[in-house]
Chain A
Amino acid sequence: MTAIENSTAPLPPMEKDAAIRKPPIRLLLLPAGTLIGLLLICALVVLRMSLGERNAEWTGWSLRAYTQLASSRNIGIIVDTIWMALLSALITTLVAFPIALFLTRTTSAFARRLVLIAILLPMIISLLVQSFGWMAILGPNGLLDQAISAATGIERPFSLLFNRTGVMLGLVQTSIPLAVLPTAAALRSIPLSLEEAANVLGANRLRTYRHILLPLAWPGMAAGAILVFGVNTGAFVVPLLLGGLKVMTIAVVIRDQMGTFSNWPLGAALSVLLILLALAVQSLNRLIVRTNVEIKR
């Protein structure tokens, strides 16, 4: 965000006889800028379609899609989606903190590399593959089932697939890298001497975490949480496969409307909602970063 703003700010006037003319720095943004411009056009197309009539998305004008969007079923799904994204952001951030602390504190380069690779795997492996993995573990007659049955003799004691718990597991697992990396970056910038100073000044381990480590790592943790929340509001593959159409999210409904039901305006209206959510989250991010600006020296 800031990079784009800076580039549009007027450049300082250059002296006429300056020996070396610097190439304008905004040229650097050209490739990415083109893509973002295309994305913007797509967003506008979606906006237009959301205001169209069914089967006349380009010619008609109507707010029908938005009234459909406000139906109690859809509102339920929207609230559900936001709630799951929020919960997954919270859980992921909590899970990520000790991992990030380990990454920054371990003295073994081997252990650090190993953990880092494990953390990054979800970003490298296709979401589809990860979800099928979860299905193989959690599904009926899956690994977990078999293990529990073998241990207790009870057939199908509980199910973690095709319900919220399963979706939540998937959402948390797939977004761990998004939370670990910014948290680790924030922790890495905290000198060990700050903790030692607190320690010598009479703070035990717990109080050192509370008064020094957590407040200083907070911007990184918040950035991670917001990232996870933003990504998971648009979650599609994980809820589709692990929720099995029993757990609906906005993205799953968009696919249903645009695909199965050919209701492009409603799908587009839901998409507009997702875009607005993303923008809202982004501005939240800026708010938090701004209030913590003094921490960075």
Chain B
Amino acid sequence: MKQNPVLEVRNLSRTFAQGAVRAVDHIDLDVQPGEIISILGPSGCGKTTTMRIIAGLESPTSGEVRILGKDVAGKPPHKRNVGLVFQSLAIFPHMSVKQNVAFGLRMQGLDSKLIETKVAKALELVQLSPEKFAERRPSELSGGQLQRVALARTLVTEPALVLFDEPMAALDRRLRDYMAVELRAIQKQLGIAAVYVTHDQETASMMSDRVIIMSAGKILQAGTPEEIYEAPNSRFVSDFLGDTNTLRIARVLDQEDGTSLVQTDAGLAIRVANCSAIAEGAFVIFRPEQTVVHSADPGGAFEGKVVSSQFRSGLYRWQIVLPGGNTLIAQSTENRLASSAGDTAWVTIDSGKARIVSQ
């Protein structure tokens, strides 16, 4: 039996400046119980506006938001049963950690004994020992600890849906990854439904069951992080999720059994599996790790010149210029080229992984 979604957004739009600016443009999305979805996009794509409309901090121009099946139009934020972890964290500076976490419970009018117990539990959940941290002032905490307080403060009220507005943007990469893993674990443990808004695709991929890519107020693609990474439906999505080799197709040379041989405008002939119709002006795209570089001609490879090479976090990376002028990025976990800039290298492309997109 399929459960009812926690959040349903239907045909949601928000325009500014008398309709001249479409911040959110006819968006649909669902969040199922226990599911965390990420809304991923560059700044100004409408993801934060979407989230603020869900929280009730802004009102939509048109469309519908349903939480646990109920239309929440016109309901103020404090009656929506939604939690929000702010980008700035918005920890109340004049209150202790305990008072911060207790705030939502106090607003619910709970009995002070119960509040005490719940606050201690929430602090333990986010791995802040209540004995050590309850009485501390926000000014005495580190960025990561403030993060945990913000999380505890939101989770303790047990909202139906938790919204995250890039709360980890200010943390450094390592702490952010660590917190993402931990947040994911807590979310799974409590079975909360959540929406995570971010421009950081790595965090989004680590955290989410599903990812929604937004640009200019519209949803470009939705799916699991893997699906979207492996099968982006546009250059924009592919670029946004990581480095992409993008080559414009000049014409189709040959086509049979779903495999096409296409020629790029720089004259390269590339074989692409699993594609049928190829529109005019389409592109072939593939990722750096979907190429293999060779120091000697393996046969059927593109010959090019190495422009530069880098080593980072266990990955080798090369920029290789092909004779027609296209530059390819290639990547490998092995140092496959003993060469440096200016040397000749040969590149093959995994035709099973390369894709054709129309825009």
Contact = CB atoms under 8 A, between A and B. Distances in A.
Given A194-B92, A196-B77, A294-B93, 15 more contacts: A193-B90, A196-B84, A197-B92, A199-B76, A200-B55, A200-B56, A201-B83, A201-B157, A203-B78, A204-B76, A207-B107, A211-B103, A294-B137, A295-B94, A297-B139
Interface of B: 55-57, 76-78, 80, 82-84, 86-88, 90, 92-94, 103-104, 107-108, 137-139, 153-154, 157
A296 B305 CA distance: 58
A196 B57 contact: yes
A199 B93 contact: no
A200 B76 CA distance: 8
Contacts of B55: 200
A191 B88 contact: yes
Contacts of A33: none
B137 A201 contact: no
Interface string A95-127: 000000000000000000000000000000000
A200 B78 CA distance: 5
Contact of A200 (B57, B93, B137, B138): B57
Interface in A186-221: 191, 193-194, 196-204, 207, 211-212, 215-216
Contacts of A295: 93-94
Given A191-B90, A193-B88, A197-B86, A202 B104 contact: yes
In the A-B complex, the 8 residue pairs with the smallest Cβ-Cβ separation, listed nearest first, are A202-B107, A197-B90, A201-B104, A193-B90, A200-B84, A199-B77, A200-B77, A202-B78
Nearest to B104: A201
Contacts of A193: 86-88, 90
Interface string A163-199: 0000000000000000000000000000101101111
A207 B78 CA distance: 11
B76 A201 contact: no
Contact of A216 (B90, B94, B108): B94
A197 B80 CA distance: 13
Contacts of B137: 294
Nearest to A191: B88
B58 to A, nearest CB: 10
B166 to A, nearest CB: 12
B107 A200 contact: no
Contacts of A198: 92, 103
Contact of B86 (A196, A202, A211, A216): A196
Interface in A31-72: none
A197 B84 contact: yes
Nearest to B156: A201
A201 B139 contact: no
B94 A215 contact: yes
A196 B58 CA distance: 11
Most chain B C-beta atoms within 10 Å of own C-beta, residue among A197, A201, A207, A215: A201
Contacts of A191: 88, 90
Nearest to A205: B76
Interface string A212-246: 10011000000000000000000000000000000
Contacts of A294: 93-94, 137, 139
11 contacts: A193-B87, A194-B90, A196-B84, A200-B55, A200-B84, A201-B83, A201-B103, A202-B107, A211-B103, A216-B94, A294-B137
A215 B96 CA distance: 14
Contacts of B90: 191, 193-194, 196-197
Contacts of B84: 196-197, 200
Nearest to A216: B94
B155 to A, nearest CB: 11
A219 to B, nearest CB: 10
A51 B232 CA distance: 91
Contacts of B94: 215-216, 294-295
A185 to B, nearest CB: 16
A120 B254 CA distance: 79
A295 B86 CA distance: 20
Nearest to A197: B90
Contact of B107 (A194, A203, A216): A203
A201 B86 contact: no
A234 to B, nearest CB: 33
Contacts of A197: 84, 86, 90, 92
Given A193-B88, A196-B77, A295-B94, A201 B153 contact: yes
A216 B93 CA distance: 8
A193 B94 CA distance: 14
B123 to A, nearest CB: 16
B76 A297 contact: no
B160 to A, nearest CB: 13
A107 to B, nearest CB: 12
Contacts of B104: 201-202
Contacts of B76: 199, 204
Given A193-B86, A294-B137, A204 B78 contact: yes
